[in-house]
């Protein structure tokens, strides 16, 4: 099957085309365009306008890049949620129009589950991982148990990416600030004590964000503040991931989400995995960030297992939780 997927939960609009080789995913194209606000955070309506003005070209480009004729596309899939309403609606509208014009089935998928499945689909030997999903708005530790992807731990306030971006915004770094904080952190040497908030397998970041802002205002070096933010938040994320691995007795760990591009986070989780004789997996960067290929791939898995969606039921759901999906395509 050849599937086209449209991702549009937040700042990115992406179109990807994949084909299955048995139950493994072959990515034929995966094009992403990111909305970057000039000042402040993401304005949902402006992000949606950005997506609307780019989507038609992205669909065309991704078919060209994949060297796929539209007549040969078997399925259209889109990100049903969770995400920002106006952005989700734009992506879903494009998917409906495409499905109707090609006369091909449509399927709406859960964005967080897509992050996990693209890891299993593209990485050799990644079969039953605990996933640390670290993106802008979402931060979750997810693993399969009894027919669902269960959330074993998650942020109680803001996502780790939002935490990094907000710190960056407060001190005048450009959006997205994660990569800039990573650059600064590499130069940092002095560790500044920051609040380390874990409850069971849940985590919180806003207290740390306030404390980091205060250190910077008091004149601590930016590189040291960035270094301390990374060391503290990433250690906490690694700890809740390890706890979920111990609890579920799984011996694979998978990273996903934009923050998973960070070398220090990868390194910490990899070290933890090595210490417990577990396998470490991280998809390539373009499959870690929000992208259409992962949406296409989850669409395939669902369709292939017999799940169908009528176009009149192809709603979006801003609060579509990871554990609301019946995962019938694996055991």
Give contact residues for ligand AMP (rule: CB under 6 A). Answer: 12, 135-136, 161, 164-165, 176-179, 182, 257-259, 261-262, 289-290
Residue 161 contact among Mg ion, ligand AMP, none, beta carbon within 5 to 8 Å by kind: ligand AMP
**Helix ranges, 276-325 (H):** 285-288, 292-304
Residue 237 contact among ligand AMP, Mg ion, none, beta carbon within 5 to 8 Å by kind: none
Residue 178 contact among ligand AMP, Mg ion, none, beta carbon within 5 to 8 Å by kind: ligand AMP
d(CA 276, CA 251): 8
Q: How far is the CB of 261 from ligand AMP (least distance, A)?
A: 4
Instruction: Please identify, using beta-carbon distances, which residue of 2 and 260 lies nearer to ligand AMP.
Output: 260
Report which secondary-structure segment, H or E, holds 140.
strand 139-145
Total Cβ atoms within 10 A of residue 105: 17
Instruction: Please identify, using beta-carbon distances, which residue of 157 and 231 lies nearer to Mg ion.
Output: 157
DSSP 8-state assignment for residue 70: G
Q: Could you say whether residue 238 binds Mg ion (CB under 5 A)?
A: no
Q: How far is the CB of 232 from ligand AMP (least distance, A)?
A: 14
User: 271: Cβ–Cβ under 8 A, 6 or more apart, which residues?
Assistant: none
Instruction: Please identify, using beta-carbon distances, which residue of 34 and 102 lies nearer to ligand AMP.
Output: 34
User: 22: Cβ–Cβ under 8 A, 6 or more apart, which residues?
Assistant: none
Task: For the segment 263-292, give every residue that binds Mg ion (CB under 5 A).
Answer: 290
Q: How far is the CB of 111 from Mg ion (least distance, A)?
A: 6
The phi and psi torsions of 219 (rounded to 5 degrees) equal 105, 5
Instruction: Please identify, using beta-carbon distances, which residue of 8 and 257 lies nearer to ligand AMP.
Output: 257
Residue 16 contact among Mg ion, ligand AMP, none, beta carbon within 5 to 8 Å by kind: none
Q: For Mg ion, which residue has the nearest CB?
A: 135
Q: How far is the CB of 161 from ligand AMP (least distance, A)?
A: 3
Taking 3-state DSSP, the helix, strand and coil percentages for the chain, each rounded to the nearest 5, stand at 45, 20, 30
User: For the chain, first and last CA: distance in Å?
Assistant: 22
| Dihedral, 162, 163, 164, 170 alpha carbons, nearest 10 | 100
Total Cβ atoms within 10 A of residue 329: 16
**Number of residues lying near Mg ion (CB under 5 A):** 2
Q: How far is the CB of 164 from ligand AMP (least distance, A)?
A: 5
Longest dimension (CA), the chain: 62
Total Cβ atoms within 10 A of residue 279: 16
Burial zone of 255 (CB within 10 Å; 0-12 exposed, 13-18 middle, 19+ buried): buried
Instruction: Please identify, using beta-carbon distances, which residue of 176 and 188 lies nearer to Mg ion.
Output: 176
Instruction: Please identify, using beta-carbon distances, which residue of 74 and 213 lies nearer to ligand AMP.
Output: 213
**Coil, helix or strand at residue 129:** coil
Q: How far is the CB of 156 from Mg ion (least distance, A)?
A: 19
Instruction: Please identify, using beta-carbon distances, which residue of 262 and 314 lies nearer to ligand AMP.
Output: 262
Q: Could you say whether residue 93 binds Mg ion (CB under 5 A)?
A: no
Q: Could you say whether residue 135 binds Mg ion (CB under 5 A)?
A: yes
């Amino acid at each position: 099957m050849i599937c086209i997927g449209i991702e549009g939960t937040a700042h990115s609009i992406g179109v990807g085309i994949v084909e299955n080789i048995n139950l493994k995913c072959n990515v034929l194209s995966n094009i992403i365009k990111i909305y970057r606000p000039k000042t402040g955070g993401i304005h949902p309506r402006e992000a949606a306008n950005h997506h609307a003005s780019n989507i038609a070209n992205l669909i065309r480009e991704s078919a060209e890049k994949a060297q796929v004729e539209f007549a040969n596309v078997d399925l259209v899939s889109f990100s049903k949620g969770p995400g920002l309403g106006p952005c989700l609606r734009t992506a879903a509208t494009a998917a409906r129009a495409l499905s109707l014009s090609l006369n091909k089935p449509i399927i709406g998928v859960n964005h967080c589950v897509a992050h996990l499945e693209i890891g299993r689909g593209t990485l050799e030997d990644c079969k039953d991982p605990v996933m640390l999903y670290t993106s802008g708005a979402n931060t979750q530790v997810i693993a399969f148990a009894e027919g669902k992807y269960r959330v074993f731990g998650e942020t109680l306030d803001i996502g780790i990416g939002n935490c990094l971006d907000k710190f960056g915004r407060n001190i005048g770094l450009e959006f997205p600030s994660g990569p800039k904080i990573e650059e600064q952190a590499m130069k940092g040497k002095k560790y500044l004590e920051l609040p380390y908030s874990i409850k069971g397998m849940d985590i919180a970041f806003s207290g740390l964000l306030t404390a980091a802002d205060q250190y910077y205002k008091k004149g601590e070096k930016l590189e040291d503040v960035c270094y301390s933010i990374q060391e503290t938040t990433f250690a906490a994320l690694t700890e809740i991931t390890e706890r979920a691995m111990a609890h579920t007795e799984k011996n694979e760990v998978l990273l996903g989400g934009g923050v998973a591009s960070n070398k220090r986070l990868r390194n910490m989780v990899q070290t933890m995995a090595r210490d417990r004789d577990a396998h470490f997996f991280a998809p390539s960067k373009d499959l870690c960030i929000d992208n259409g290929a992962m949406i296409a791939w989850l669409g395939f898995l669902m369709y292939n297992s017999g799940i169908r969606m009528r176009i009149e039921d192809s709603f979006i759901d801003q609060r579509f939780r990871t554990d609301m999906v019946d995962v019938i395509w694996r055991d």
